[in-house]
C-alpha cells in the first residue's frame, strides 16, 4: 500500500515554519519545499518537506527561530529570508 502524502495549504506551512507565505512560495520555486498543484489555482506543500526544513532548522536556526534552509551556500539562505523585507511583502501582506 502506498504511503499517504499529507498536503498543507501554503499559509499552514508558513505558520509552521514561522515565515511568510511569500517565503514559502519562493522556497517551493527553489525546490526547498515540495509543492503539488491540486487545482487550477491551488498549490499545496507536502508536510514531509515542511518537517524536513524544520528539522534542518533545529541544527542551525536563525536568531528569530526560523528554519535554516538546507542545501544553500552561506548567505543565500539569508537572502531568501530578507527578500520579504526588500520587496515589502511581509507576513501581513497576502500577495507576493
**Of 19, 93, 96, 63, which Cα lies nearest the Cα of 33?**
19
d(CA 94, CA 2): 35
Domain residue ranges of the chain, discontinuous segments joined by +: 7-87
Per-residue pLDDT tens over the stretch 8-42: 999 999 999 999 999 999 999 999 999 999 999 99
Per-residue pLDDT tens over the stretch 43-88: 999 999 999 999 887 665 444 555 555 555 555 455 555 544 554 5
Q: Are 84 and 22 in contact (CB under 8 A)?
A: yes
Q: Are 66 and 81 in contact (CB under 8 A)?
A: yes
Q: Are 33 and 53 in contact (CB under 8 A)?
A: yes
Looking at residue 56, its pLDDT comes to 86
d(CA 17, CA 15): 5
Looking at per-residue pLDDT, the higher value among 8 and 1 belongs to 8
- What is the model's pTM? 0.65
Amino acid at each position: 500500500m502506498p504511503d499517504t502524502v499529507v498536503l498543507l495549504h501554503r499559509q499552514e506551512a508558513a505558520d509552521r515554519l514561522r515565515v511568510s507565505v511569500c517565503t514559502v512560495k519562493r522556497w517551493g520555486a527553489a525546490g526547498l519545499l515540495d509543492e503539488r498543484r491540486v487545482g487550477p489555482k491551488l498549490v499545496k506543500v507536502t508536510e514531509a518537506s515542511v518537517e524536513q526544513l524544520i528539522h534542518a532548522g533545529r541544527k542551525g536556526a536563525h536568531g528569530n527561530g526560523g528554519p535554516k534552509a538546507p542545501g544553500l551556500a552561506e548567505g543565500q539562505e539569508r537572502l531568501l529570508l530578507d527578500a520579504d523585507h526588500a520587496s515589502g511583502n511581509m507576513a501581513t501582506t497576502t500577495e507576493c
